[in-house]
Structures are given as C-alpha cells and as structure tokens.
Structure 1
C-alpha cells in the first residue's frame, strides 16, 4: 500500500504508539486526521508533523454521537479517507473480582466498542477508495491471557476476533478495504503507568499492585516511535497480523505450541 498522498485517521494520537504511528505516516507523505481526548497532547503531536496536511479532532471515543460525527469532519478537512487506525486505549489493573462492573464496562467501551463504532462509521467512506485499510490495535494480551488482566484481555481478544471476521467478510466481498490487527508487546508508553486501579481493594492489595506495576514497566523497552515504524511498515506490506517487538513474536509462537499451557512456559522464560 503506497501511503503517499493518502489520508489516515489515527485515534489516540496525543502520545505513545499513536504519536509514533502519525510520525511514521507523515514521513511517508500521508496526510493526517488525528484524534484524542487529550487536546494539549494532540496539539503537541500536530506540531511535530511536517510537510503534510493535518487536522486535529478532540474526541472522547466513548461518546457515540461524537464518533458518528467524526467521518464528516474528516471529509470536510481532507475530502477523502484511505486508512483508519483504531489505536485509542486504556488499562485497568486488578483481578476480575477486584475490578467492579462500571470500570470493566468503561474499559470495554474504550478498547472494543469504540473500535466497532468507528469502523462502522468510516467503512462506507473507506470503500470509496481504490485501496483502503482498517488497522485495529489489539495487544500482546490479545494473544495470551495472564492473570490480573481479565478486563484488558477481554477487550483485546474481542478486537482480534472482530477484526479477523471482518477481514474475511471483506475478502469474500472482494472489497478494496483490508484489515490489519496489531499486537504490540512491551512498548514504553504511559498506558501501564496510568492504568486505573480497582476502587475497592485493601492497602495490602494496593501495595502488591504497585510492586507488580513497577516490575511490568521494566519490561516496556521498545520505543513508541520504533513501534510506530514497525506498524506502518506492516500497513505498507498489507500484513493481516502485525507483531510489534520480540516479546510479542515469542508469545505468539509459544501460544501456538502450547495453547493451554503457555503461561507456565512464559513465566519460566520471564524469570
């Protein structure tokens, strides 16, 4: 997929992997409509994008009406759309019993329902392009499911299943729209640091969670700018699955070899 002079929509573009993706797209002369709930961060990202046409869209992806209105705003600013990158995401720490229903639902709204909603809103416009692509952000935890991540895994496995089925539907319809699923491993972003803690836990549980978070952050070694380059390179090559980082590639291999017992193998390798 030649991205030069195409138009891409990227959500969650104010920081982290989203910013890395936008910079990698801009280096390929791809025009950008960038969206995020963080207006200040969005402006910072826009200031880094040189030589391309950029529009910014302050967007809370849990707002259904705002999501449905985004295509019209993008078309008004660019006249077309060729690429949708559903990157916006949040995290919650804690076991299933620790995470209450409201927080679980909030994470699903951001990480899964917004992906479906924006895909539905943009798909008719993407079909007008001679070559278009939907890129949905899953995770390493859309390949494997560790303890303490039930809400996050539920959303990221859902993104994976939705995207794979949608891709096959579009292929059978001989559509000009392709679908890629991205599985980033340990990327050094703020998502783990900013993960919402459970509301109702003991002080001992809170201390244990802080220790786990500190250990987990040490595994986040890949730069978000390197991650963005890997993802955009995968888009250019029209890859159905884009694995980002050595840890994601290893986890995908071990899960295929031992689909039930992979966690004990991965724990040993992490030690």
Structure 2
C-alpha cells in the first residue's frame, strides 16, 4: 500500500513593475529558483517581453495587470493572490518612476506623480499585504528604493524626496511588523542599466536659470550609467534578499551602492554628501 507524499508548499512571491529591467529579471530569477511568482505589469501589451523571458528560462509566471496607483485594484490583487495561491510569502515593491528637475522647474503635478508611484502605491500595497502575512505569522515585504533613498542628489528633488519618504515609512514600520513575524526591508540599487533611465521625465528647458547646471548633471550621469550595473546582476541581489534566511532591514545590490549610500553617514552634518554632489553640477 502506498500513500501520496504530502504537498510541498512553494514560496509565493508578488513582484510589481516587471515589464522590463530589474523587475523582469527578478521575477524570472525567482521563478527559476522554484518560487511561485505573480508578476504585475501595467497593461497586457507590456507583458509580451516578460513572458518571452520566462519561456527562455523554462519557467512559468502568473502575469497579472496592475496600475499600482489604483489602490483599490492593488488590494483586490493581493487578496486574489492569497485566494489563488493559498498564501503570500513575499511582496517585492519594485514598480517606480523617475524624474529629473529641480524644485523651481517642477510642476506640482509631477511632484505628486512621483509620490503616487514611488511612495503612496508602495504604502497601499504594503497595507494590503500586512493582514495576510500577520495572520499566517510570517512574510517579507521588500521595497526596491534607490541609493537616492539614502543620498539626496541634484535635480532629483521629487524622485529622491519620494524615495526618502518610502525608506522612512518602511524603517518605522519594520520593528512593529517584525513583532508579528513580518520582515520589512529595502534594497538600494545604484546606477542600473535599464529602460528606466530612458523613460525618466525631465523638467526645465534651455530658458531655465538652471539649464547649464542641469546639462552638467546629465553629462555626469551619462558617464555613470555607461558603467552601470546590469539589470540581471541587480535582480540577483534582489532575489537573494527576498526570501533570505537572515533578516536585515537594508540591502544593497553591489559595492557601488554600498560605497555611495555610505556617504550619507560619513559626515553627520551633511557636508560629505554636499561636497560630493556639488561637483556634479559645476
């Protein structure tokens, strides 16, 4: 007489912003490691490249549509994932949006959009996931921020503001969530070669009083991204951090990120960061 072996529970991971770059490679890498991955994209038309990448690695993804700024849709999606997969072990908040421009050239509409995508959508999905994870007594919420969440940079006023906000939110939440078995953390990439760079919104034209400084910044940034970390490499770091056995709040995707973010604490009066970033716009 034989008996069926008990079903092995696989880790269920929800990853947002997976149509390209780090998100795409993270979703595929997690699936290749045996996880059940729910990967979200903004529209069905953006899913083809993701599905092709998954087929190339011989893995399957549960691809779903989500506009992360639709908070009701986000909550419904999280509930559906738990219903369909039985649980939610890890949420990777990866979806993000870039913006280049200084305060005087930015519109309030642009600033709000940065907060909506990079901060409020993350808060909303985190709030949606927490009750499920708390009820099961375990879970991980990992948010992909940026070294811009540790170091404010010229012409990244709105972007860094939103990333700093989400890091503050997560660091405040972390000890409370941990008391209920839920690990909260952030992962900070430095320059990563992705489509994200090409899609960054820019504010301020040739008639801006900051035009020369902006051009100097863009020239410097182009050089930095010429030697950027690959999206595949960053995704491996994210994948390692998502279901990691050892908990820590802050992760980096590589040595460049560790060195850069370290400047934020190198001088407690802020002088180390300003001395560095001031050279970028000279």
TM score, norm. by length of structure 1: 0.88
> Following TM superposition, by how much is the alpha carbon of 1:34 offset from its aligned partner in structure 2, in angstroms?
0.7
Change (3 A) 1:226 1:11: same
Q: 2:256 aligns with which of 229, 243, 247?
A: 247
Instruction: Give the corresponding residue for 1:196.
Output: 201
> Following TM superposition, by how much is the alpha carbon of 1:108 offset from its aligned partner in structure 2, in angstroms?
0.4
> Following TM superposition, by how much is the alpha carbon of 1:73 offset from its aligned partner in structure 2, in angstroms?
2.6
| Higher mean C-alpha displacement, 155-164 vs 251-260 | 251-260
Hey, what's the Cα distance between the residues in 1 that align with 2:254 and 2:181?
29
Instruction: Give the corresponding residue for 1:216.
Output: 221
Hey, what's the Cα distance between the residues in 1 that align with 2:23 and 2:113?
20
Instruction: Give the corresponding residue for 1:127.
Output: 134
Q: Deviations over 1:196-249 (max 9, x none)?
A: 122x64456668646643531331210111001112212314331111222221
5 Å-filtered alignment, 1:17-166, equals: 17-49=22-54, 53-166=60-173
Q: Deviations over 1:110-137 (max 9, x none)?
A: 0000000001111111224453100012
SS at match of 1:127: helix
SS at match of 1:191: helix
RMSD: 2.4
- Answering whether residue 192 of structure 2 is matched by residue 187 of structure 1, we say yes
SS at match of 1:60: coil
- Answering whether residue 272 of structure 2 is matched by residue 262 of structure 1, we say yes
Instruction: Give the corresponding residue for 2:6.
Output: none
Change (3 A) 1:44 1:269: same
Instruction: Give the corresponding residue for 1:6.
Output: 11
TM score, norm. by length of structure 2: 0.85
Unmatched runs of 5 consecutive residues or more in structure 1? none
Unmatched runs of 5 consecutive residues or more in structure 2? 1-8
- Between structure 1 and structure 2, the one with the greater Rg is 2
Large movers: runs of 4+ above 3 Å: 50-53, 128-131, 200-215, 267-271
Hey, what's the Cα distance between the residues in 2 that align with 1:149 and 1:227?
21
Instruction: Give the corresponding residue for 2:182.
Output: 177
Q: 2:175 aligns with which of 162, 168, 180?
A: 168
Instruction: Give the corresponding residue for 2:3.
Output: none
Hey, what's the Cα distance between the residues in 2 that align with 1:81 and 1:225?
24
SS at match of 2:130: helix
Hey, what's the Cα distance between the residues in 1 that align with 2:194 and 2:219?
13
Hey, what's the Cα distance between the residues in 1 that align with 2:143 and 2:69?
16
